[in-house]
Amino acid sequence: MSVTNKPPSDPSVTQGTISKPQGDAIPPFGSAPVPDYSYIFGNFTLTSYTFEEDGSSGIALYDGKTAFHIDNVGNMIFTTGQPSQSGCGGKMVMNSEATIEKTGSISIEVTGRANDGEIGKEKNSTGGIDEKKLPAYSLKVYGDVLIECIGGEAVIKGDNITLNASGTLNLNSGKDINISAGGEGGRINVAGGTFALNTAFFEKNLSGGEYSKGAGEVSIEQYNSNASTSISTPGNVNYSVNGDYEVGVTGDYKQIVNGNYSLAVDKDYGHAVKGNYSEKIEGKQKTVIDGKSINQSTQKENYLMEIGAGIKGTPAFKVSSGSDVEMATTTGGFKFEVAKQVSTMTLTEKEFKVNVGKELGAIELTESQALFSYGKTSKITLQAAKISVEATAIYLN
């Protein structure tokens, strides 16, 4: 990760800057400190001074590059600088068993390392070049770390921020948790083995689209009997299912279509209604049965209607038409049966037969003759050149 160390462009980033002690800048006439004592220790000089105006004093130990200064207003100033004969040094080092510090406020400004902290370059696994850099600010702790902000706000700001937890990362809030990524143009990425959400309400407000892709199952289970699932869209809803599709409804099931409704089934199609079934068609209805069965079926007829027994005195099958009723067949004919062939009527291209009751009246019209009979003994036969009458008794009036 690339790290660039730059001084802050906004002075408000830090709490403030350390004020310079009185006497460091060129003072106006009459306000300069008066040295009380100076002593030289090798390359170091120890000097104490006093301000005549108010009697305040200070002391400093310095060598031109480093200094320890206690000024006249109570500041303790430490100054370090890199020695001219060495490539290192110039650091402030503190080694203690424990450090306890209590102060009104702390302001730290880190301007960064020389050469932006770069210490080398190396190739990565993809063939690119990674720069190795030392951070401008580093904190390493062996043990627990507790940072507590009481009665205020805690803010961390940076170009890129990474939280790396070897175990569990917990985000706890007494109220809300807000996540914002670049306004409407940012991206929030979540990667994990399992994503669990436990909340009372889950609200989504999407100005674009919602896309889901996965190899696993999708399951929605509602245990509240008063709960409902609603989808309202001014656009289209498309379902593409390569396997089975099942809908189970214990209550009412309604479909309301303001436009056209079409259903295409490549294989069999069936209805099972335990109650009543009704249709109302304000337009016209057309049914085309080709009789080209794709699957094996025990039914031989192209169109089969089985109707159970109705209420006594009421027909089980009734057709009511406001106009003519026409039935036509291109081949074969019509056959009507009553009470399991007790009474029949057959109409084909070459014959017309009516049989009423067992051994009762019958009419037969064929290509060769016309026959009118009643029972087994009474019969009238009409042929092209012959008329015959058969009966036990014949009466002419």
* pLDDT band, residue 112 (cuts 50/70/90): confident
| 7 pLDDT higher than 70 | no
pLDDT at site 131 = 75
Name 179's Cβ contacts closer than 8 Å, sequence gap at least 6: 188
Round to whole Å and give the CA distance between 344 and 358: 10
**Mean of the pLDDT values across residues 211-228?**
86
* pLDDT band, residue 217 (cuts 50/70/90): confident
pLDDT at site 87 = 57
* pLDDT band, residue 287 (cuts 50/70/90): very high
Interval 256-276: pLDDT, tens = 999 999 999 888 888 899 999
pLDDT mean across residues, the chain: 84
User: What are the chain's domains?
Assistant: 332-397 (2.20.220.20)
**Mean of the pLDDT values across residues 365-393?**
90
* pLDDT band, residue 82 (cuts 50/70/90): low
- Count of residues in the chain: 397
pLDDT at site 4 = 46
Interval 336-366: pLDDT, tens = 888 777 888 999 988 999 998 877 899 999 9
Do 365 and 351 contact (CB within 8 A), yes or no? yes
Specify the pairing of strand 387-390 against strand 378-383: antiparallel
Interval 161-201: pLDDT, tens = 999 999 999 999 989 999 988 877 788 999 988 999 999 89
**Mean of the pLDDT values across residues 299-314?**
87
| 18 pLDDT higher than 80 | no
User: DSSP class of residue 28?
Assistant: P
Name 15's Cβ contacts closer than 8 Å, sequence gap at least 6: 105, 106, 107
Do 270 and 277 contact (CB within 8 A), yes or no? no
Interval 241-251: pLDDT, tens = 889 999 988 88
pLDDT at site 84 = 59
Interval 321-336: pLDDT, tens = 999 999 888 888 888 8
- pTM strictly above 0.75: no
Round to whole Å and give the CA distance between 178 and 184: 15
**Mean of the pLDDT values across residues 366-372?**
92
Query: Which of 63-77, 78-92, 369-383 has the weakest average pLDDT?
Result: 78-92
pLDDT at site 83 = 62
pLDDT at site 30 = 54
How many CB atoms sit inside 10 A of residue 58's CB? Answer: 22
**Mean of the pLDDT values across residues 65-78?**
91
| 75 pLDDT higher than 60 | yes
pLDDT at site 88 = 66
